Amino acid sequence: MNSGMSLTEYKAKQFNLSGLNGISDKTLEIHFKLYEGYVTNTNTLNRKIADLVNKGPIGADDMPVYSELVRRLGFEYNGMVLHEYYFGNMKQGGAEDAASGSAFFKAAERTFGSYENWKQHFVGVGKMRGVGWAICYQDPSNGQLSNHWVTLHEEGNIAGYRPVLVMDVWEHAFLLDYKPAERPKYIEAFFSNIDWEAVNGRLVTLSSAS
Ligand SMILES: [Fe+2]
């Protein structure tokens, strides 16, 4: 029996986020709309691919269109998911630094020698030229953290690693509030709004890494 591909329709999440320090409500409003576009485009791509798959074997004539649709999935899916991590690791009344003794603080110390080392490295990644993301992942197999640059939304993600702290450094994240060359000010503002409880909640606890 072939009942066709069953489609998961993604719904944009609502984030109760306003009144942040140094990131204006207007920026957030525009950013939420951009995020919703990624959700819509993910659903549209999935629908178009399902139509092709359900129609029968993908023939040579379908291949160019099919290939382009599939390639775009990486951009749209990651655009959707990374924004959810990003909005999800900020809150009104956030704190600039992880509490010493917290799970994240200890994981940063264990991996980088000190929390300060981790931070200056992560901030450095955020200042890299180009359009993309700074992401601190955790390797779930050993609890180690690692900081990475992701170009656009999809190039540089580490398969199977858990995004723990996600910072958008596309210019749309700060252009209403800062000049393009003032990205370091935006990064400072981002840090002052971090929801460390959310960050700690993303860590897996390993008995060997506790
Ligand atoms: Fe963004």
Q: Residue 151: in which H helix or E strand, if any?
A: strand 145-151
Helix boundaries (H) for the chain = 25-55, 63-88, 103-112, 115-126, 183-192, 196-202
Q: Rounded to the nearest whole angstrom, what is the distance from the C-alpha of residue 30 to the centroid of ligand 1?
A: 9
Surrounding residues of ion ligand 1, Cβ less than 5 A: 168, 170
Global confidence as pTM = 0.95
Chunked mean pLDDT (size 10), the chain, 210 residues: 77 97 98 98 97 92 96 98 98 97 97 98 97 98 97 97 98 97 98 98 76
Q: Rounded to the nearest whole angstrom, what is the distance from the C-alpha of residue 63 to the centroid of ligand 1?
A: 31
CA angle 80-202-89, nearest 5°?
55
Whole-number pLDDT of residue 160: 97
Give the count of alpha carbons within 13 A of 92, CB side only: 8
If DSSP codes are grouped into helix, strand and coil, which group holds residue 167? strand
CA angle 146-151-153, nearest 5°?
95
Whole-number pLDDT of residue 198: 98
CA separation for the pair 115, 124 (Å, rounded)? 14
Q: Rounded to the nearest whole angstrom, what is the distance from the C-alpha of residue 105 to the centroid of ligand 1?
A: 26
Whole-number pLDDT of residue 210: 44
Q: Rounded to the nearest whole angstrom, what is the distance from the C-alpha of residue 167 to the centroid of ligand 1?
A: 9
Give the full edge-to-edge strand order of the sheet including 132-138.
145-151, 132-138, 162-168
Q: Rounded to the nearest whole angstrom, what is the distance from the C-alpha of residue 44 to the centroid of ligand 1?
A: 20
If DSSP codes are grouped into helix, strand and coil, which group holds residue 2? coil
Q: Rounded to the nearest whole angstrom, what is the distance from the C-alpha of residue 37 to the centroid of ligand 1?
A: 11
Q: In this structure, what token pair is assigned to residue 97?
A: 């630094």
Check: CB of residue 145 under 8 Å from CB of residue 108: yes
**Which one, of 121, 146, 122, 144, lies nearest residue 133 by Cα?**
122
Q: Rounded to the nearest whole angstrom, what is the distance from the C-alpha of residue 80 to the centroid of ligand 1?
A: 9
Whole-number pLDDT of residue 4: 78
Whole-number pLDDT of residue 6: 74
Check: CB of residue 43 under 8 Å from CB of residue 72: no
Whole-number pLDDT of residue 207: 63
Q: Is residue 71 exposed (0-12), middle (13-18) or buried (19+ Cβ within 10 Å)?
A: exposed
Whole-number pLDDT of residue 209: 46
CA separation for the pair 189, 67 (Å, rounded)? 40
Residue 180 neighbours by CB distance under 10 Å: 8
